[in-house]
Amino acid sequence: MSSRISDEFLRAIPKSDLHVHLDGSLRLKTLIELSRGAKVKLPSRSEEGLRKLVFKDAYKNLPEYLHGFMYTCAVLREPENLERVSRELVEDNAAEGVRYLEVRFAPQLSVTPSQGVREIVRAVDKGLAAGAAAHNRSRAVRSGEDVPLRYGIIVCGMRRFKKGMSSYFADILRLMENAPKDEVYAAASLELARAAVELKEEGLPVVGFDLAGEEAGYPPADHHAAYQHAHNHFLGKTVHAGEAYGPESIWQAITQCHANRIGHGTFLFAHEMIRDGRVADRRRYVESLANYLAAQRIGIEVCVTSNLQTIPSLKSIADHPVRRMIDRGLSVSLCTDNRLVSNTTVTRELSLVCKHASLTPQELKRVVIAGFKGAFFAGPFSDKRRFVQSVAARYARLEAEAGVGL
């Protein structure tokens, strides 16, 4: 990291997080409290114990990383719990200088006999709105010294699911028990996309549709109908792609799902992972894909800590493609993925990449501003443009005060 880029500066500048999962970003203290009311048995009742047993700094493999979600999802079934966790997530982000937040989650995981997808999304929005309003009432925002905090909601379809994951998934598996599994998964995604559009048209800040879950063997093209519906109704589209599968997954997300952004994209340059026998020159394919992403400004939501924790081949940030992405001119934003599970913050992600990928002050600024420019944003483009301009102006003031970029 440049000696002029301090962690204090990174905490102060306005930041965004375009890829943060609600159920992976609870406060540990809150998880413990909510588990009592939800009658969820935790392996430990102390924060220290949970850090040691479940939510670690390093994981052996992806299943160990995902283990903690069985506890977080279990406490996110009541509207008041969803509302509280959402409000606290905004508070935690606001405290570290995040001024734009797109929170993603799979509402079908929280469905119960007494509440459906729409009620769940409304509860999350209520919590996010309360957290944002608290920040936006501050003296610094009202005086123009700081910028307001804006947020959006991204709903996640699931590449695959089992009946034990929620009553919704149990019901759809029962109703479609004779259908091929890929058709069942696709039907659930389409129903979620329809709900997302309805909520957006109600005026809720539902800004995007995502596809999460096991990537290898469950291609994004299976969910084409859901993405087409989202596309037809002007929702932003992002897809978890290139995280556990190769460049073909990314290209399919773009061509079959109209992706405006790619979640992770970690194996973008892994030409050796291409499986399509029709691709004669794999290196050229990867070069063409990277050039297309850069030229079309299709954003890459990079989650460095999460990738290091879940991809065994990545031993350090030196092995991560983030430096190569930046060098190739891609629209890169740095994100947390899961603040609790990965034990990270946006400030920490920026600090790690600045230090270990040797970002210059100019590159840091481009990455930070790219996060705001790549936002799906709820509201007119003219409002977004003014918001980005206010962010850039505040960044410039802080940059001048800190002597960064001189």
Catalytic residue (one of 215, 243, 248, 349): 243
**Strand residues in 14-110 grouped as ranges (E):** 15-21, 98-105
CB 155 within 8 A of CB 104: yes
Residue of 345, 379, 402, 389 whose CA lies nearest to 25: 345
Q: Give the chain's end-to-end CA distance (angstroms, integer).
A: 15
Tally of CB atoms within 10 A around 119: 16
CA-CA-CA-CA dihedral for 203, 209, 213, 219, to nearest 10: 160
**Helix pair angle (117-136, 181-202), 10° resolution:** 50
Can you tell me the distance from the alpha carbon of 237 to that of 260, in angstroms, rounded to the nearest whole number? 5
The residue type at 353: V
CA atoms within 13 A on the CB side of 88: 18
User: Any idea of the CA torsion for 220, 224, 228, 231, to the nearest 10 degrees?
Assistant: 0
Distance CA(146)–CA(151), nearest Å, equals 16
Beta-carbon-side half-sphere exposure of residue 95 (alpha carbons within 13 Å)? 8
Contact status, residue 200 vs residue 206, Cβ threshold 8 Å: yes
Q: How far apart are CA 20 and CA 208, in angstroms?
A: 13
**Catalytic annotation present for 243:** yes
Angle at 322 (CA atoms; ends 57, 305), nearest 5 degrees: 10
Q: Is the dihedral angle over the CA atoms 303, 386, 94, 235 positive or is it negative?
A: negative
Measured distance CA(190)–CA(229) in Å, rounded: 8
Contacts of 245 (CB under 8 A, 6+ apart): 215, 216, 267, 273
Residue for token pair 């919590």: 127
> Could you tell me what percentage of the chain is helix, strand and coil, using 3-state DSSP and rounding each to the nearest 5?
55, 15, 35
Provide the annotated active-site residues.
Answer: 243
